[in-house]
Amino acid sequence: MITHSDEGPDFEPDDPLAVILRPPPDRLVPPPGRYHAIRRAAARRRLLRAAAGVGVSCAVAALVALPLRLSAHEAPASPSVPLAPQPASCLL
């Protein structure tokens, strides 16, 4: 299959696909004077996510440990005398 070159009479520079696939003209930068505010907000979001993750982990651990703890407080069963088979003389 032969591909067409990007030059020539058939090349349309404002082709929508070419506009989308074109590399950006320059790197996006934060507005002047806002770099530190953006970094502080990002740090605050990371801290909030970490705190939420720790809270969820603790809640899951508590939900798993609670049934185990409640079932462990039962009194042990009293020992019973083992049942022995009946003597052979009684079976006649």
Nearest-10 Cα torsion for 72, 75, 81, 83? -50
pLDDT by residue for the chain (92 residues), tens digit each?
A: 556 555 555 555 667 777 777 777 777 777 788 889 989 999 999 999 999 999 999 999 999 888 876 665 566 677 777 777 777 775 55
pTM of the prediction?
A: 0.45
Largest CA distance in the chain: 116
Q: Are 53 and 60 in contact (CB under 8 A)?
A: no
| 37 phi and psi angles, rounded to 5 deg | -65, -40
Alpha carbon distance 44, 35 (integer Å): 14
CB atoms within 10 A of CB 18: 12
